[in-house]
Structure 1
Amino acid sequence: MSDSSAHGKETRRTARGRGQRTTRLPPEERKSMLIDKAADFFAEHGFEAGTRVLAEEMGITQPLIYRYFESKEDLINEVYSDVCVAKWRPEWETTLKDRSRPLKDRLHDFYHSYCEVVYDRRWVRFFFFAGLKELDINTRYVTRVSERLLKPICVELRAELGHPEDAPAISEEEFELVWLMQAMIFYQAIRAHIYRIRANLDPAFAIDTAIEMYLRTAPEIVAKACEAGK
């Protein structure tokens, strides 16, 4: 089927389904629109539904999707890049490593900015559906968080406490404690968008509590790890 034929059917279906007149979009704009609609679709229905159902919900033809994406996996990767990777803020890493300020203040600023991104319904549900489907995009994102955010937090705490920053290596207990802080903060979004048992999201309490618990518990664990490595 030619693109013009697919586009004609797309226009007619959209007009019938929504009572609106559509116009021909530039290829990049149309691709961006498809990614955005697919993100909403996967966030609500997961990855089991096929592209035929996605096309019907969008009011377009299935061949039109494959004109812009080689496969369903290619589309999912594009959605991942748009929903997760593109929302990554470089200043997160800069904030965490700014030793002109106390680590507690840096953690507060970082997590408030981080929650502005990851408390989004589409972000949370897409990420969880991908995990249930065992797609490698979760592994890629968790690795990014681990290497660029959580391990640096361990290093920065050591520096603030006057311990060697990377010798000995960060212990499992140090790293797990940072993950527990991260998980405690993120759990509010899970309750709201996965369990649907929280109507309003206010990250302030979770952030304050998680950071206080981390900074109160971590010094002893860090000291033990550094002592054992001598």
Structure 2
Amino acid sequence: MSAPSMPQRKETARTARPATRRRFQRDVRERHFLDEAVTFFAEVGFSGDTKTLASRLGVAQPLLYRYFASKEALIQRVFEDTFLANWNPLWEEMLTDPALSVPARLLAFHNDFARVHLKRDRVRLSLFFALHGWDMTTYFRLMRERVYLPIAANLRAHAGRRTPSDVPLQELEVELAKTVVEKIQYYGIRKWVYGIPSLPPIEPLIAIAVHGLLDGVSTALPDA
């Protein structure tokens, strides 16, 4: 049996390329729509309507709904893109790196967390999601399991308390573990919500907060 002729193979290549190109163009446009939606909702909150968003994009509203089935579906994508897609898996390594001391681990993590969290859109959206009553359980669970519990274990080790394998971490320890993260979050609110000018750089504040936490943790933590 003879092999397929060269023209047939060329025809297959010609029909495959347009489909791939269309898929690429659709992905690029969807990314553009989503980026603009993040900025839009960070500015006006979720009371902003998709008609106004479409106008800012320079497209008709029905085209926007070809990419996102509803306004709630679009907000869901904004949530995922802002709080889940930007998750840095290296944070968990920073907090458990045996080559680093506890102070070095906490400084490395909190400085990088601030780099990600203190972006204007993320700070403002965190408040708008809360006011909107959005279910952020997925993000809160992620923070607890992969950030606050490891920080709490570090604090217990630094204070010379028994390890988590001996006694389960207590809620008081987990609350202490949130201390510096919450300072970073409030710094972002002061900058991007209150609009307070001339805030000092965040890095020295993180260093002070981390060392203050470590200095006081031995006194603050009760005996297990």
TM-score (norm 1): 0.81
> Post-superposition shift, 1:199?
4.2
Residue 61, structure 1, aligned to residue 60, structure 2: yes
Q: Which runs of 5+ in 2 are unaligned?
A: 1-23
> Post-superposition shift, 1:40?
0.4
> Post-superposition shift, 1:97?
0.4
> Post-superposition shift, 1:145?
1.0
Report the counterpart of residue 207 of structure 1 in structure 2.
206
* In 1, Cα distance between equivalents of 2:223 and 2:144: 19
Amino acid at match of 2:137: T
Amino acid at match of 2:220: I
Report the counterpart of residue 102 of structure 1 in structure 2.
101
Going from structure 1 to structure 2, the CA distance change for 1:62 and 1:84 (only over 3 Å counts) comes to: same
Report the counterpart of residue 175 of structure 1 in structure 2.
174
Bigger radius of gyration: 2
Partner of 2:31, secondary structure, is helix
Report the counterpart of residue 36 of structure 1 in structure 2.
35
Residue 85, structure 1, aligned to residue 62, structure 2: no
Amino acid at match of 1:82: D
Going from structure 1 to structure 2, the CA distance change for 1:51 and 1:195 (only over 3 Å counts) comes to: same
Assess if the C-alpha contact under 8 Å between 1:188 and 1:201 holds in 2.
no
Report the counterpart of residue 17 of structure 1 in structure 2.
none
Report the counterpart of residue 45 of structure 1 in structure 2.
44
Report the counterpart of residue 4 of structure 1 in structure 2.
none
Partner of 2:178, secondary structure, is helix
Q: How many residues of Structure 1 are paired with residues of Structure 2 in the alignment?
A: 200
- The percent identity for this pair of structures is 33
Going from structure 1 to structure 2, the CA distance change for 1:31 and 1:96 (only over 3 Å counts) comes to: same
Amino acid at match of 1:28: D
* In 2, Cα distance between equivalents of 1:141 and 1:192: 23
* CA shift digits 1:184-217 (9 cap, x unpaired): 1222111000111134562112201211221122
* In 2, Cα distance between equivalents of 1:220 and 1:166: 22
Amino acid at match of 1:194: V
Amino acid at match of 2:84: V
Residue 121, structure 1, aligned to residue 132, structure 2: no
- From 144, 154, 160, the equivalent of 1:156 is 154
